[in-house]
A and B are shown apart, each in its own frame.
Chain A
Amino acid sequence: MKKVLTGNHAVSYGSMLARAEVVAAYPITPQTQIVEKISELCADGVMDAKFIKVESEHSAMAACIGASAAGARAFTATSAQGLALMDEMLHWAAHARLPVVLANINRSMAPPWTIWTDQNDTISRRDTGWIQYYCESNQEVTDSVIQAFKVAEQVELPAMLVLDSFYLSHTSEPVDLADIALVDKYLPKYQAKHDLDPAKGHPAYGALCNDEWYYELQIKMQWAMEKALDVIIAEDALFGEMFGRSYPVVEGYRADDAEYLVFVSSTIASTAKDAVDRARAEGIKAGSAKVRLLRPFPKPQIRKIAKGKKRLGVIDRNISYGSEGAFYTEIKSCLYHELQRPEIHGFIAGLGGRDVTVDAVYEMIKITAGRSPETDINWQGAKLA
């Protein structure tokens, strides 16, 4: 069934289709419509979930962790300050190996207060052990909630799907809502390997652990992340078979025969396609590649698509202060051992929600095609620098 949905409502419907059982969430612009719609769906009996109206995001994640540990499918949504506030518990969910799913609306960090988009809130959480999906369209958002649970429950790591504030969260697009019976076939009821039911025993979870044990638990988390890349790809393929839509972890646009390839993410991925077409019309053999995953980082797929390219560019809607853009770092790093290492430009664009237009991306493609990089940071569309 097709519905015209904002990105926020696409999240809500995704959580409904995925049969989230416990939702613990706290309002924050621009996520509020997610939880409002979920409240409505629960009240109307369309969604059978317990909605805990917690008193902060930190408690939201703590409650999701409790619910997941008790064996229920747990979900939440937040943004920026809220994601930052729950940071301690993001680490907790991952270390506790609980398959909580979270939707984050990428919103810039304060101060100054802002409600518009950039990716700093999530890129600064890339070390927590959470899977991170960056979504380009509302269809992808809905489908990603479902896929995220399927993957998270298999690898026993939490997963977040992220989408741009306003450009996606408040933008309406047609979304094909799958038949829930088919979703049930794809994503059956969650069966936790361990839970808190006293009838099953009385273990303690998360007890004091000295240096004799802790290290290996971290190795297991890393292995789970490595396994996750394969699981994500396999589950996406299955999703494609069942629902007719799939989302490659790295998706090229006119990339195969491109000489100059620009890596993009989130809504800039859509914008880039028009810019690529414009460049192509002028004779520049440009292409773009959307990077859907930041964690686990899809190294093999990046290496594959970058092979044979004359020069690369990366557009980051974020910056790791004191270094450079996050996707730029990750892409550069994974190409380091390749025999052929094309030059690579690092562009920063759209911080604080400043619009990244087709013109802007076209300029970045021109720069990538036109010259060698001089610095790691090339501010685009900025009033300083």
Chain B
Amino acid sequence: MKYSIPTEEYVTSGTVACQGCGAVLALRYALKALGPDTVLSVPACCWSVIDGPFPYSSTLVPLFHTAFETAAAAASGIRNGFAIRGNDHTTVMAWAGDGGTVDIGIQALSGAVERDEDIIYVCYDNEAYMNTGIQRSGSTPWGAWTTTTPVRHFKKEEKKDMVEIMAAHGIRYTATACVSHAEDFVKKMKKAKQIRGTKYLQVFASCPPGWKMQSEDSIKALRLAVQTGIWPLYEVENGVYKINHKPKEFKPVEEYLKLQGRFRHLKPEDVEHVTRWRDRRWKLLEAKVAMTRELYGAEAAET
């Protein structure tokens, strides 16, 4: 079997991430897909620190640190700055955590998408404000412990579905991805690079300390997220939904949940809640696949 991911590295040694950090792998794969003619707009998030303190930088592309709310706005500025100077070739990528995307960063992102700025926005989603010590974000799933949703008041709000919000904007291309499914992620990044306009990807990135799990389970947890259906792999391109991978049979959600201490307090009825959520979501996704295929008559949506 041929390995489809480029071998060049654009994330080198010197990252200060935790052991087993999914976010490091995420950028590593993303940059392999994009290549060196890339600029990063990075708001406050784990990667503000992971890249290394001054005077070090472990990435081999220019990295512009920016304020928490502004990943998409700064990226818009960079893109237009390059454009007015005749540079249409450099990829401008906003690279942000879930907090800086679905909460404080949502306005700037929504604005950029509405303007169809020619940028790629990637949210590496570890489902909480991890950089500041594991506080809940709008992307934290129902049932999770975080420091601001302690066990006796665990998160009772559903995870904000950012990819659907992006699809509702009429974005040209949006997709989910998962670090454990690297080839799918790299393929999607390469696809995004070829499209003009705003592209949004949400890549599931494990966080051993934040999820309270062993660092060696990092990839396993991500793989299980896909296999249990908790993290569907799908794309929406010009309004047409396509599921990239549907497990023949979903593994029980318990297999994913039990690996992580942040779910340890869940009772059987809570696990049922998660299972029902997973099922509802997939039903809706499959309905959207069928509906958009019919409406927009695009290419086949099956894997």
Instruction: Give the interface of A toward B (CB within 8 A).
Output: 21-22, 24, 48-50, 52-56, 58-60, 62-72, 74, 88-89, 92, 196-199, 201-210, 213
As a 0/1 sequence over residues 68 to 94 of chain B, the CB contacts with chain A under 8 angstroms (1 = contact) are 011011111111111111010010000
As a 0/1 sequence over residues 113 to 131 of chain B, the CB contacts with chain A under 8 angstroms (1 = contact) are 0110100000000000000
B77 touches A64 (CB 8 A): yes
**List of 4 A-B pairs having minimum Cβ-Cβ separation, nearest first:** A66-B77, A70-B81, A55-B111, A63-B77
Extra contacts, 12 of them, besides A21-B84, A59-B69, A202-B62 (Cβ < 8 A), are A50-B80, A54-B76, A63-B74, A64-B77, A66-B77, A69-B77, A70-B39, A71-B85, A198-B36, A198-B39, A202-B60, A204-B62
B residues less than 8 Å from A68 (CB atoms): 77, 81
Question: Most B CB atoms within 10 A — which of A70, A72, A203?
Answer: A70
Looking across the interface, which residue of chain A has its beta carbon closest to that of B40? Answer: A204
Looking across the interface, which residue of chain A has its beta carbon closest to that of B57? Answer: A204
B residues less than 8 Å from A65 (CB atoms): 66, 74, 77
Distance to closest chain A CB from B115 (angstroms): 7
Q: Does B110 contact A (CB under 8 A)?
A: yes
B residues less than 8 Å from A70 (CB atoms): 39, 77-82, 85
B81 touches A71 (CB 8 A): yes
Return the contact of A74 from the options B38, B79, B81 (Cβ within 8 A). Answer: B81
B residues less than 8 Å from A204 (CB atoms): 51-52, 54, 57, 59, 62-65
Return the contact of B53 from the options A49, A50, A92, A209 (Cβ within 8 A). Answer: A209
Return the contact of A198 from the options B48, B80, B90 (Cβ within 8 A). Answer: B90
30 contacts across the A-B interface (CB closer than 8 A):
A22-B81, A22-B84, A52-B80, A54-B73, A58-B69, A59-B72, A59-B108, A62-B66, A62-B67, A62-B74, A62-B108, A63-B74, A65-B74, A67-B77, A67-B78, A71-B82, A72-B85, A74-B81, A197-B87, A198-B38, A198-B90, A199-B37, A202-B60, A204-B54, A204-B62, A204-B63, A204-B65, A205-B65, A207-B56, A209-B53
B78 touches A92 (CB 8 A): no
Q: Does B287 contact A (CB under 8 A)?
A: no
Q: Does B41 contact A (CB under 8 A)?
A: yes
Looking across the interface, which residue of chain B has its beta carbon closest to that of A205? Answer: B64
Looking across the interface, which residue of chain A has its beta carbon closest to that of B68? Answer: A88
B57 touches A62 (CB 8 A): no
B residues less than 8 Å from A22 (CB atoms): 77, 80-81, 84
As a 0/1 sequence over residues 12 to 56 of chain B, the CB contacts with chain A under 8 angstroms (1 = contact) are 000000000000000000000000111101000000110111101
A residues less than 8 Å from B75 (CB atoms): 66
Distance to closest chain B CB from A48 (angstroms): 8
Q: Does B107 contact A (CB under 8 A)?
A: yes
B63 touches A62 (CB 8 A): no
A residues less than 8 Å from B57 (CB atoms): 202-204, 207
B80 touches A62 (CB 8 A): no
B77 touches A55 (CB 8 A): no
Looking across the interface, which residue of chain B has its beta carbon closest to that of A206? Answer: B65
Distance to closest chain B CB from A178 (angstroms): 22
Distance to closest chain A CB from B158 (angstroms): 26
Looking across the interface, which residue of chain A has its beta carbon closest to that of B49? Answer: A208
A residues less than 8 Å from B110 (CB atoms): 55
Q: Does B61 contact A (CB under 8 A)?
A: yes
A55 touches B84 (CB 8 A): no
B residues less than 8 Å from A54 (CB atoms): 73, 76, 111
With A56-B107, A88-B67 known as contacts, the answer to whether A208 contacts B48 (CB < 8 A) is yes
Report the bound CA distance from A52 to B85 in whole Å.
15
Distance to closest chain A CB from B16 (angstroms): 9
Report the bound CA distance from A55 to B70 in whole Å.
11
B77 touches A74 (CB 8 A): yes
Distance to closest chain A CB from B211 (angstroms): 24
